[in-house]
Structure 1
Amino acid sequence: MVQKLDYLRIYNQDIRLVSSSEVSNIEAGLIPDIWFELFKEENINDRKEALLNLWKKYVGYELRNTIAYLSEYLEDIEIIECDKVYSILYTVKNPDGDVLYYEGRNPQDEFENSELEKHWDKVPVSLKNFYKNVHNGFYYYASEAMGLVPIASVTYLGDDDLEWSIIDELKEPLQIELNTSFGFFSNGMGSYVVIDTANCENNNATFWSAKVQPKYNINFWSYVDEWIVIGFQA
């Protein structure tokens, strides 16, 4: 426990682990009701199964490989807190025995992304379901990447402060509108899986990078599901 907390505090000095016995004392409304129910389960296997059933309910098809991996390699789940902001910490042990920590943010977090909010009604329902019912982002704790980022960190491609030098190197005309496009997945190295809210029927997406040519008309969930599992195995 001490070793885990020391690691977590490398990236957030004020983070703390909330013991299972403390969860019931969290103020009502600060975490989803289902989290209270989850952490009443004393058996860790029952607790993990209940959480993964939540994933299956909302994105069971879309993130089936991620869920299958977690079903096999998820070691523990705990609540972490900083300034009354709560998340679930996933402890994942990969086939090589390496321990990785992933954070699943609170779906009740405030919506802090003014540009995305303007286009939120156009975002695919399955993606909104994940953010509203499962987690406000699920990602590798140390980098806040290799997963779906929190709403506040979703990249707005039309941001004037961002310079996409790749545009000058495109081999074909740009096929997305930067002013309606948002990167929901980040690999932490300048690449994103992007939803253009003006053209996202059937989860149509673009693999966008500052370094390589974009890949258009990909399936959002197929790429995200594959990349999350790649992160688990890294």
Structure 2
Amino acid sequence: MDKISFLKQYRKNIEFVSNKDIHNIGKEEIPENWLEILIETDKSKKKEKLIALWNSVCEKELSNTISYLKEYLLEFELIIDNGQYAVLYSVLSENDEILYYEGGIPNNPVYISDMQQDWLHVPITVKNFYEKLHNGFYYLPSRAMGLVPITNITHFREHEWRILEDLDEPLGINLETTYGFFENGMGGYVAIDLNNCADDVATLWFTNDNPEYNLNFWDIVDEWIVIGLQDS
């Protein structure tokens, strides 16, 4: 099965954007730094520019993810799905399978999301990722095992968590101010309570197990992304 046929199993309207069409895209749709990377025709230089952008935004926070991409990223291309641009990453897993990850183009989607009022309180490192690198980065088939798009961030107060009845200790976060930025697709979230997020403090939340508090957001995210890249 070719790549586009595989992708259309999950996104029936997904299309690749040709190099010719990329030149006709305005800066209001795709930031200039991304356009500069995407129009590069030399594959080696194109990848170097991409890695440089990742490093400029989250070299410390996602060091392991960046190292894996630097070693095993085969190619990346601009795609469009229902009018939304994104970058498709083709990454080689440890099993020599090609895994497809999607990174949304950062074009201020926060202003049409439920996060609008609380975005100012999100840790700066997290905001930088979403505003300067990608509006989410995750395994395309499942839309999980990664940082979800802003419009898909889970506001904990809007869900009924059955695990609350079985907690061994009192709840250590405020559901009203807690958001899940990362999902593993199996009931696991990396969540941030905006009332307690100094130094990127986060909670590892499960739908069927006790949460783990006071963890570093990026340590968990970096580890879980690499796990997914290796064998999603």
- TM-score (normalised: structure 2): 0.96
C-alpha distance in 2 between matches for 1:173 and 1:36: 49
Q: CA deviation at 1:22?
A: 2.1
Partner of 1:233: 230
Look up the match of 1:39: 38
Matched residues in 1 for 2:144 and 2:205: separation? 15
Deviation (angstroms), 1:163: 1.4
Partner of 1:91: 90
Gapped runs of 5+ residues in structure 2?
none
Q: Which residue of 1 aligns with 2:217?
A: 220
Indicate which of 182, 186, 189 corresponds to 2:186. 189
Moved over 6 A (4+): none
Whether 1:168 and 2:165 are equivalent positions in the alignment is: yes
Whole-angstrom CA distance in 2 between matches of 1:152 and 1:125: 18
**Structure-2 separation of matches of 1:182 and 1:144:** 17
5 Å-filtered alignment, 1:69-218, equals: 69-111=68-110, 112-114=112-114, 116-159=115-158, 162-218=159-215
Aligned residues: 230
Distance in 2 (CA, whole Å) between partners of 1:156 and 1:74 is 32
Three-state SS of the structure 1 residue aligned to 2:117 is: helix
Distance in 2 (alpha carbons) for counterparts of 1:39 and 1:204 = 34
Q: C-alpha offsets along residues 31-50 of structure 1, whole Å, 9 cap, x if unaligned?
A: 11112211221111211110
Quote how far apart the aligned CAs of 1:224 are.
0.2
The RMSD of aligned alpha carbons is: 1.1
1:35-78, Cα deviation, whole Å (9 max, x unpaired): 22112211112111101111100110000000000000000010
Contact 2:108 2:131 in 1 (8 A): no
Q: Equivalent residue of 1:56, what SS?
A: helix
Q: Which runs of 5+ in 1 are unaligned?
A: none
TM-score (norm 1): 0.95
